[in-house]
C-alpha cells in the first residue's frame, strides 16, 4: 500500500517495437483508480490504464503472469544529480517526488531496481523504495505519465484528452493559490504538460481555458502575473502560435489587478510589438503607463541610480509613446527634467543645477552623458564650481580634452578661478603631499594662453595665490621677469615640456608642505619657447656659478692642488 507519497509531474513518450508490444500487452480497457492517503489527511488520486506492480512484493507474481524475466539489483543515486539520479533523460519517469520521502533526507538514496525482459529484450525498469518496497520511479520508452501535485492527481498512460482534463482542473485551482511556492508550481506544472514534445494543440487549449478563467474570476495581482508570465513566454517556444484568440493582447482588458509599476512594465513589454490596439486595450495601456510613472517617483524603491536611470529612459522612449495622450499625468520636477532631455534632447542651466543640488545620486548617470560641449551644461557647471559645489579640475580637464572654444566671458570666469583656493593640501603617510590648486592653475593657463593677446591683457588679476603670479605674467601677459632663473629652485622634467599634460607639473609642495610653483613657472615658459630656452641656459649657468662659489667646491679644488703622497 502506498502511503504519504504524492506524485511529481512528468510527461514522456517514445517508440520501440518490443516495448510497444509490451505496452499493448499490459494496457487495460479502462483506467483503474486508486485513492492513496497522504500525510496531511487528504487523498491522492492515482489513475492508470496499465497493469503495473506498485509494490516490490507483487513483482514476482506480475513477472510470472506477463511471462517476463526479471533482474533485481541495488542502485544508489545522488540527490543532487537531478531527480534522484534521473537527470533530464527522456526515458525517465519520476512517479513520486523524492523530496517528500523521509528516507531521502540524506545526500544519496538506495533503491531496488527491477528490470523486466521479454525473451532477453529489455522492456521497462521499475524502482522501489527501501525498506518499504513502494514504487517510486519508472524508466520506460513508451509509457507516458501526467501528474500534478497541486490537484493531487497522477495518470499513467495519459492521452490528449486526459491532458486537457488535467489542465482544466489545474487552471481552475489558480484563484485558490496564494503563496509564491504554489504559484510557481502552478506555472511549472501547466507548462510541463506540453514539454518537451511541444504539444501545440494542448497549449492552445490551455490559453482558451485561461482566457475563460479571466472572464469569470477575479484574480489577485500575483495570480494574474503567474498566468500572464506563462502566456508571454509562449512565443519563445511556439513561434507558430498565431491568431487573435492566442494573442497576449487579450490580457490587457483583464489587467485591473495590477498596481505595481514593475508588473505593468512586464505586461507592456509583452504587447508593445503590436501595431494596433482596441479602445479597451488602449485604455488599459494608458493606466499601466500611469502605474510606471507613479513608480518612478518613488526614488527609494530603486536600489541603484543606474536602475532608476534605465527605467526612466525606457519609460520616455518606449512606454510613454504607447499612450493615447503621450504626456505625463503627474507634475514631478525630476521627471520633467528627464522628459526634456529624452523627448526634446534639451536641458537648461537651471535644470542641470537642480539635478546637482537636489538629486545628486539619482542624476549621476544622466550627468555623465551631459558634456561641456552643451553650452547650458557648461554654464551650469561653471556656476556650481564658483559656488564651491563642484570641483573645478574635472570641468577644466573636460574643457581641455573637448577643445571647447573659450570666449571672452568664459575667459573672465576662468581667470577668477585661477586666483581662488579650492583645495586643501593633501598629506599622505608615504606619498608626496599635493596641492591640487596648482593643477587647477596649470589647466587654466593651458586654456587661456592660446587666446589673442588683446583678450589676455584684459583678464583680471586678483589677490590670492601671490606665488602663482610669475606663471600668470609669463604665460598670459608674456612678461619678461628679471633674474627669474635665480628663483627657479627646480629643474624642468621631461613631462614639463608640453602644455598638453599640465597635471604632471602641478602637484608639488616643499618639505614643509607649502606649495612650490617652480614647475608651474616652467610650464608657463613652455608657451614661449625662446624665453624657455634662454631661462634654461641662464639657470644652468647660475647653477655652475653657485657650485664654483661653494666652500665645499673651493676646498676640493685646494685639495687637488696639494702634492699627493708617493
Better pLDDT: 488 or 556: 488
pLDDT value for 510: 60
State pLDDT tens for residues 38-95: 656 677 777 777 778 878 898 999 999 888 999 999 988 775 444 334 443 444 555 5
Contacts for 465 with CB less than 8 Å, ≥ 6 apart:
419, 421, 437, 441, 515
- Mean pLDDT of all residues in the chain? 78
What's the whole-number mean pLDDT along residues 439-468?
86
Comparison of pLDDT for 296 and 35, the residue scoring more: 296
Q: Which of 378-406 are b and which e, b meaning 16 or more Cβ less than 10 Å from the residue's Cβ?
A: bbbbbbbbeeeebebbebbebbbeeebeb
**What's the whole-number mean pLDDT along residues 140-144?**
72
Greater pLDDT, 553 or 48: 48
Least confident of 33-42, 60-69, 112-121, 443-452: 33-42
Reported as a pLDDT band with limits 50, 70 and 90, residue 242 is low
Q: Half-sphere exposure of 126 toward its Cβ, with a 13 Å CA cutoff?
A: 21
Q: Can you tell me whether residue 20 is helix, strand or coil?
A: helix
pLDDT at residue 27 tops 50: yes
The predicted pLDDT at position 566 comes to: 55
Q: Considering the entire predicted model, what is its pTM? A: 0.71
Q: Distance of CA 496 to CAs 264, 391, 460, Å?
A: 59, 24, 26
Q: For residue 19, what pLDDT is reported?
A: 57
| pLDDT given at position 137 | 75
384 in Cβ contact with 353 (< 8 Å): yes
What is the pLDDT at residue 265? Answer: 94
Quickly state the pLDDT bin for 99 (edges 50, 70, 90).
Answer: very low
Mind listing the pLDDT tens digit for each residue in 417-433? 999 888 877 665 555 56
More confident residue, 9 or 441: 441
**Cβ–Cβ < 8 Å for 60, 169:** no
User: Please, which pLDDT band fits residue 14 given cuts at 50, 70 and 90?
Assistant: very low
pLDDT in tens, 323-377: 998 888 888 999 999 999 999 999 999 999 999 999 999 999 999 999 999 999 9
pLDDT of amino acid 563: 59
CA dist 239 and 230 (Å) reads 14
Helix or strand or coil: residue 44? Answer: strand
What is the pLDDT at residue 422? Answer: 85
Whether the per-residue pLDDT at 466 is higher than 90: the answer is no
Beta-carbon contacts of 537 under 8 Å, excluding residues fewer than 6 positions away, are: none
Could you tell me which residue, 441 or 561, shows the higher pLDDT?
441
Residue 424's CB is within 10 A of a number of other CB atoms, namely 9
Distance CA 230, CA 249 (A): 14
Calculate mean pLDDT across residues 281-303: 92
pLDDT at site 17 = 35
Contact indicator for 83, 92 with CB cutoff of 8 Å: yes
Examine the pLDDT at 434 and tell me if it is beyond 90: no
Over residues 287-295, the mean pLDDT reads 94
**CA–CA separation, 492 and 276 (whole Å):** 71
Q: Is the pLDDT of residue 248 over 80?
A: yes
Q: Tens digit of pLDDT for each residue in 386-423?
A: 999 999 999 999 999 999 999 999 999 999 999 988 88
Strand 43-50 vs strand 153-156: parallel, antiparallel, or unpaired? Answer: parallel
Q: Which grid cell is 201?
A: 494543440
Return all residues near 542 (Cβ < 8 A) that are at least 6 apart: 485, 486
Q: What DSSP designation does 430 have?
A: S
Mean pLDDT of 122-148: 77
83 Cβ contact list (under 8 Å, min separation 6): 8, 92, 94, 98
Q: Is the pLDDT of residue 488 over 80?
A: no
The packing angle between helices 200-216 and 160-172, to 10°, is 30
Cβ-based burial of 76 (10 A; exposed 0-12, middle 13-18, buried ≥19): exposed
3-state secondary structure of 79: helix
Amino acid at each position: 500500500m502506498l502511503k504519504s507519497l504524492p506524485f511529481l509531474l512528468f510527461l514522456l513518450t517514445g517508440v520501440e517495437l518490443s516495448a510497444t508490444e509490451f505496452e499493448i500487452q499490459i494496457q487495460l480497457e479502462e483506467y483503474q483508480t486508486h485513492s492513496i492517503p497522504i500525510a496531511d489527511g487528504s487523498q491522492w488520486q492515482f489513475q492508470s490504464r496499465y497493469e503495473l506492480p506498485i509494490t516490490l512484493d507483487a513483482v514476482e507474481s506480475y513477472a510470472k503472469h506477463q511471462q517476463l524475466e526479471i533482474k533485481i539489483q541495488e542502485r544508489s543515486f545522488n540527490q543532487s544529480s537531478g531527480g534522484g539520479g534521473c537527470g533530464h533523460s527522456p526515458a525517465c519517469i519520476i512517479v513520486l517526488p523524492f523530496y517528500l520521502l523521509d528516507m531521502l533526507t540524506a545526500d544519496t538514496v538506495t533503491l531496488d531496481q527491477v528490470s523486466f525482459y521479454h525473451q532477453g529484450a529489455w522492456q521497462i525498469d521499475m524502482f522501489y523504495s527501501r525498506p518499504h518496497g513502494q514504487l517510486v520511479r519508472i524508466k520506460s520508452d513508451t509509457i507516458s505519465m501526467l501528474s500534478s501535485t497541486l490537484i493531487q492527481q497522477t495518470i499513467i498512460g495519459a492521452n490528449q484528452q486526459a491532458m486537457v482534463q488535467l489542465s482544466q482542473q489545474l487552471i481552475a485551482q489558480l484563484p485558490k493559490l496564494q503563496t509564491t511556492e504554489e504559484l510557481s508550481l502552478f506555472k511549472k506544472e501547466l507548462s510541463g504538460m506540453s514539454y518537451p514534445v511541444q504539444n501545440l494543440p494542448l497549449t492552445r487549449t490551455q490559453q482558451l481555458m485561461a482566457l475563460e478563467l479571466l472572464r469569470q474570476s477575479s484574480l489577485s495581482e500575483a495570480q494574474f502575473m503567474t498566468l500572464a508570465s506563462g502566456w508571454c513566454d509562449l512565443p519563445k517556444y511556439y513561434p507558430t502560435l498565431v491568431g487573435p484568440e492566442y494573442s497576449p493582447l487579450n490580457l490587457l482588458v483583464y489587467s485591473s489587478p495590477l498596481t505595481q509599476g514593475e508588473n505593468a512594465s512586464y505586461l507592456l513589454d509583452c504587447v508593445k510589438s503590436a501595431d494596433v490596439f482596441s479602445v479597451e486595450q488602449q485604455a488599459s495601456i494608458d493606466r499601466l503607463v500611469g502605474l510606471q510613472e507613479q513608480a518612478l517617483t518613488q526614488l527609494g524603491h530603486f536600489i541603484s541610480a543606474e536602475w532608476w536611470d534605465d527605467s526612466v529612459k525606457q519609460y520616455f522612449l518606449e512606454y510613454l509613446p504607447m499612450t493615447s495622450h503621450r504626456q505625463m499625468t503627474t507634475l514631478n520636477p525630476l521627471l520633467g527634467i528627464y522628459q526634456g532631455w529624452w523627448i526634446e534632447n534639451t536641458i537648461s542651466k537651471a535644470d542641470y543645477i537642480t539635478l546637482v543640488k537636489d538629486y545628486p545620486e539619482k542624476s549621476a548617470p544622466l550627468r555623465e552623458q551631459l558634456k561641456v560641449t552643451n553650452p547650458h551644461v557648461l554654464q551650469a557647471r561653471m556656476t556650481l564650481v564658483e559656488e564651491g559645489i563642484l570641483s573645478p579640475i574635472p570641468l577644466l580637464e573636460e574643457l581641455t580634452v573637448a577643445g571647447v572654444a573659450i570666449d571672452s566671458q568664459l575667459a573672465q570666469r576662468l581667470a577668477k578661478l585661477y586666483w581662488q583656493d579650492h583645495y586643501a593640501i593633501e598629506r599622505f603617510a608615504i606619498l608626496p603631499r599635493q596641492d591640487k590648486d596648482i593643477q587647477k592653475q596649470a589647466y587654466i593657463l593651458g586654456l587661456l594662453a592660446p587666446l589673442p593677446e588683446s583678450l589676455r591683457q584684459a583678464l583680471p588679476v586678483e589677490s590670492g595665490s601671490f606665488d602663482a603670479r610669475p606663471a600668470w605674467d609669463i604665460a598670459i601677459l608674456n612678461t619678461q621677469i628679471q633674474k627669474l632663473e635665480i628663483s627657479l629652485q627646480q629643474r624642468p622634467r621631461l613631462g614639463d615640456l608640453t602644455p598638453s599634460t599640465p597635471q604632471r607639473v602641478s602637484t608639488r609642495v616643499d618639505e614643509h608642505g607649502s606649495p612650490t610653483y617652480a614647475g608651474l613657472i616652467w610650464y608657463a615658459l613652455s608657451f614661449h619657447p625662446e624665453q624657455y630656452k634662454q631661462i634654461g641656459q641662464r639657470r644652468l649657468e647660475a647653477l655652475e656659478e653657485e657650485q664654483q662659489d661653494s666652500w665645499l667646491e673651493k676646498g676640493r679644488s685646494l685639495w687637488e692642488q696639494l702634492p699627493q703622497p708617493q
